[in-house]
Structure 1
Amino acid sequence: ADDGLGGLAKRPLYVFMMFAACTLIACKDEQLLLKALRIGAMLAALAALINLYFYFTSPAAGERLIGTGALRNPLLTSHVLGFFCTYWIAAWLTRSERHDWLPIMLALPLLAALLATGSRTPLLALVLTSLWMLPMIGRRALYLIATLALAAGICMVMAPDLLLQRGLSFRPQLWNEAIRQASEQLWIGHGYDSQFAFNIKGLGVTLNDPHNVELAVLLELGLVGLSLWLLMYGVTLLRCLQQRHAGNFQLASALIVYGLAAGLSEGSNFLSRPNENWFLIWIPLSLVAALSISQRLQSKP
């Protein structure tokens, strides 16, 4: 059950098991963990093609792509698609594949499906990820930035509604209201799994999450929890910078930054059962932790 002490206590256990499983695999064979991720990314590209087929052949093709199977929401679907799209882009940047054309070919259906969801959050996250890759990769990341800038220019000319039709989607008003409610219990928050209601003038519906992971942490765990949360990401990114010449860390850091950037305007359920939010938070973090622990074990005499 989602409610009750037993159900809530399982959630951090799920996260721990994710970290432990990735670490055990990496310590046994680091390449095995990366191959599993690569196979998952290939399957995701195939799934994107299937979803695009159903999207364009169904009667509701004019609406936003939701996805099939367990996918039930365009925004949540974009978390999954964006994660694997970032993987292939990072694989191209880091030259992780033998053939440069393979990551590009596999990233294209994921990017097309991402655009079909109508979510702008992953597009912004991809831009910020490309900027992060500059100190990690160097000149090769400039090609990605130029490509994204060109694609944005084409979208502004050919399909301006794709980026502009929904404005800021009431995000500033929502975040202001979330900060106001957070200020009522600023230091330790309202408590984990607290329920919130955000009534935004002009929106017409009541929202129950702030559409920002960091604000969700602030609301539930206060400044103390948010400080620990930011420290966790700070240590992770510092570790990636220290290992920026290692291709595995370059790729993993791209997934970290993508998830962190996407969480600035979407997502809120930061400690949940395994779901779409894990592609923004716990999967990238567990990957970096596993690679780091594996490297330290290998360096020991």
Structure 2
Amino acid sequence: MQETRWAQVWMTTGLLWFLLAIAFAPTNKIYQQGLVAFLWLPTLLLAWPARQRFVELWRGQRLVCLAVMGLGFWAMITLLWTQDPDPSRGAKRALYIIVFLLFFPILANARPERVIRIMQWGGLGLAVTALLAAIEFYGVDGNHWMARLVGLGQLAHPILGGYVLGLAAVWLAHWIPPTRGKQLLWLVALAFLSGFVVLSQSRGAALALLLTFVTMPVWCRDRHSRLIALGALLLAMLAFWLLEPLVLARGTSFRPEILRSSLDMIAQRPWTGLGMGSGYTVFAEGIQFDHAHNLFTHIAIELGLPGLLLWCVLWFAVLREAWRARDTLYGRGILGIWMFSFLAMQFDAASISGTPRAEWFISWLPVGLATVLVWTQAKFQGCDKIPRST
């Protein structure tokens, strides 16, 4: 049933909506409603017909599945002492996450190349948003070119926009089409996306993008990855030379002080945490911050050390699965996505239990995409392999 044309169009629309409507949807409410219609609903309707794919996923990625279930179970337990005035909201969001992760095996249906194609189109769409954002910000609104560029829609923040568009640059750099004409289009898209990251002046996103591109030859081991690494280094030196005053003016942005304050909060409730969905503030140098600016410390504050341990098991299990599939085109793309996300979440991201938002691009999207790695490794009879890239 999931292979019928209407089902594939429906689910393809769901993934593209997740990737693009975050910038194009007029409001966050419309974005969330679109996800319900195009992503959550088809997943629930097709889950039973696609149950064999879930069996294959369980057999091939048991550690990932156990880590997701363990994290979800522990998060539900923490609702017993959460400071969220509406604990049912946390339970609903946990269900959203589970359905989101189940979406990818149904969409792929043992065909990872299908996911690659959709992600490629999504990356091109995000490149268009980068160009439109620059035109609106500098041209229409008349901001000075040294001002921090912000994205469109829900990406109207230099840090969040930098993370989402930087991640799009990463997957486009790994999943390059074979024909010359399309490769030129990809190069232009990469320039728009990378340029947005630089102009957003988000140092966390820029550093994550640079280090991901520089380390690409470790898992890609081909000519195009070495060219990307070299080009990234040269462009980074040029950008630093041009924007050095802007890069250094903000100092460390209180990150060391926020980290110390976050560790103090963890030490106060190390085992239970505050509970899923609890609001909290971090005080550093007399300034109040509304989150820990680091996904790992945020999880420890909210879910305690057990939650942090389960997240680490899940996150590094994804790395293990991607590394095992590094000789495939899909596996290499997931490694790049994992590397960028891991670096980005050290500097600002602090949400795994909220509604779908920009932070999901560097938390749950890599996990969801990684579930498709089962079929790149061809562990089950009749599954398709992704060919090696040249």
TM (normalized to structure 2)?
Answer: 0.71
Deviates more, 1:148-157 or 1:230-239: 148-157
Match for residue 8 of structure 1? Answer: 90
Match of 1:112 among 183, 195, 202: 195
Q: Are 1:91 and 1:97, in contact at CA under 8 Å, matched by a contact in 2? A: no
Change (3 A) 1:253 1:3: farther
Is the deviation greater in 180-189 or in 22-31?
22-31
Give the SS at the match of 1:199.
strand
Counting only pairs closer than 5 Å after superposition, residues 224-239 of structure 1 correspond to structure 2 as 224-239=306-321
- Equivalent residue number for residue 154 of structure 2: 70
In structure 2, the CA distance between the partners of 1:90 and 1:3, relative to structure 1 (3 Å rule), is farther
1:74 Cα deviation (Å)?
1.5
2:182 aligned with 1:98: no
Match of 1:211 among 270, 273, 293: 293
Per-residue deviation at 1:35?
1.5
Structure 1 vs Structure 2 CA RMSD: 2.2
Check if 1:195 corresponds to 2:279: yes
Number of positions where the alignment pairs a residue of Structure 1 with one of Structure 2: 296
Name the aligned partner's letter for residue 194 of structure 1.
S
Correspondence for 1:152 among 236, 241, 251: 236
- Alpha-carbon contact 2:322-2:332 (below 8 Å) kept: yes
The whole-number CA distance in structure 2 between the counterparts of 1:210 and 1:148 is 30
Structure 1 residues 3 and 37 mapped into 2: Cα distance closer, same or farther (>3 Å)?
A: farther
| 2-structure distance, mates of 1:178, 1:282 | 23
Partner of 1:138: 221
Equivalent-residue separation in structure 2 for 1:186 and 1:217 (angstroms): 11
Among 325, 341, 344, which residue is 1:262 paired with?
344
C-alpha separation in 2, matches of 1:185 and 1:259:
27
- 1:85 alignment partner AA: A
1:116-149 deviations in Å (ceiling 9; x for gaps): 2110111111233235423311253333332222
**Residues of 2 paired with 1:97 and 1:169: CA distance?**
42
Gaps of at least 5 residues in structure 2 are: 1-28, 30-83, 384-390
Q: Distance in 2 between matches of 1:296 and 1:145?
A: 30
Choose which of 239, 244, 249 in structure 1 pairs with 2:331.
Answer: 249
2:372 match: secondary structure: helix
Q: What code does the residue aligned with 2:219 have?
A: M
Cα distance in 2 for partners of 1:131, 1:159 equals 20
